Chains A and B, each alone.
Chain A
Amino acid sequence: MSRSSSRIDTKKVNSELVTLTYGALVAQMIKDLDNADDVSKQLERLGYNMGIRIVEDFLSKTGSGRCLDLKDTADKVQMAFKMYLGVQPNVANWSAAGDEFSFILDSNPLTELVELPDDLKNLKYCNIICGVLRGALEMVHLDVQSWIVQDQLKGDSNTEIRLKFIRRLEDSIPAGED
């Protein structure tokens, strides 16, 4: 099932279209929900929905098989960042047990042109990425948690997204069988 990597996702769009569309969406959510924490949660959920779809696109384009271990997962997700956002994060800060690590981004198209006003300092603007990771990995049977550790919008020098492996999910059993 190996597809040549040269064919991988050549169609591109201007990243500002994504930046501004995302910005308009977040602004609208703030209007609708009126609470930074709820918006952060909603963004994560939205990301989850994107994740369960984006993983199909990724698998179909790369022809990649199941992950051998978490290291392999990290490499694949790193590649996906490059494919979808055009930026390549570093994989770093592995926990001793090897079940937790971080993606470190020094630039991020989502936050380009963005500045958080003082009353929204709690907003996890990039929470959508955490959601995408959770959704995408759940589809390949990995239950993970993901959260933002450092945030450029809050003055940190880069954006760090943490990922923790919880457990492997099992295949669903056909209806009517136990």
Chain B
Amino acid sequence: MTIHNIYIFDHKGGLLYYHEWNRIKQSGMTSEEEAKLMYGMLFSIKSFVNKISPIDTKEGFLYYKTSKYTLHFMETPSRIKFVLNTDNNAQDMRELLQQIYSQVFVEYVVKNPLSKLSEPIQSELFKTKLDAFVKQSPSFLAKPL
């Protein structure tokens, strides 16, 4: 199992943070372009999922899956968006996303007086904690399969 990369977007759609662990193939775009496309896709898929839904949705879009990877999505009620790409074996990614939100993002970005909530995250403390957090999760394996 493996975790490929993470994107965090603020409530306005700006990219707060990107990091990759086992990303084997690059998209060939600049990271800004890629982030913009990612946000645009999430925005569309979200509104589509809600529009087309035959019953009342509570959380709406959760993930999509291809033959090779799964994109897990979590949005907080404050519209901060977390996106995690993993292989198809990764389990309980919502739990992990929720933990990243509450135990890493809130602790080391929200409560850090030196970081602004609408600017890309610079905090070394956040970076190290996130890295450690992801690496200790059972879904993370350093070597891609």
**CB within 8 Å of B: which residues of A?**
1, 3, 52-53, 55-57, 59-61, 63-66, 139-141, 171-177
Please name all residues of chain A whose beta carbon is closer than 8 Å to the beta carbon of B12 when the two chains form the complex. 172
Q: Is the CB of B78 within 8 A of A59?
A: yes
Indicate if B58 sits at the interface (CB-CB under 8 A).
yes
List 30 interface pairs A-B (beta carbons < 8 Å), by A numbering: A1-B59, A3-B98, A52-B117, A53-B117, A56-B78, A56-B105, A56-B106, A57-B106, A57-B111, A60-B98, A60-B101, A60-B102, A61-B102, A63-B98, A65-B58, A139-B11, A140-B77, A140-B78, A171-B43, A171-B79, A172-B11, A172-B12, A172-B13, A173-B43, A174-B13, A174-B39, A174-B40, A174-B43, A175-B13, A177-B43
With A3-B102, A59-B76, A172-B13 given, name 9 new contacts (CB 8 A). A55-B78, A56-B76, A56-B78, A56-B80, A57-B110, A171-B43, A171-B79, A172-B11, A173-B43
Please name all residues of chain B whose beta carbon is closer than 8 Å to the beta carbon of A61 when the two chains form the complex. 102, 106
Of the candidates A3, A65, A175, the one whose C-beta lies within 8 Å of that of B77 is: A65
Question: For window 105-145 of chain B, which residues contact chain A by CB distance below 8 Å?
Answer: 105-106, 110-111, 117
Q: Is the CB of A64 within 8 A of B77?
A: yes
Among residues of B, the one whose C-beta sits closest to the C-beta of A140 is B77
Number of interface residues of B (CB under 8 A): 23
Among residues of A, the one whose C-beta sits closest to the C-beta of B40 is A174
**CB within 8 Å of A: which residues of B?**
11-13, 36, 39-40, 43, 58-59, 76-80, 94, 98, 101-102, 105-106, 110-111, 117
Please name all residues of chain B whose beta carbon is closer than 8 Å to the beta carbon of A174 when the two chains form the complex. 13, 36, 39-40, 43
Q: Is the CB of A53 within 8 A of B78?
A: no
Please name all residues of chain B whose beta carbon is closer than 8 Å to the beta carbon of A175 when the two chains form the complex. 13, 36
Report the separation of the CA atoms of residues A12 and B4 in the bound assembly, to the nearest whole angstrom.
Answer: 37
Please name all residues of chain B whose beta carbon is closer than 8 Å to the beta carbon of A171 when the two chains form the complex. 43, 79
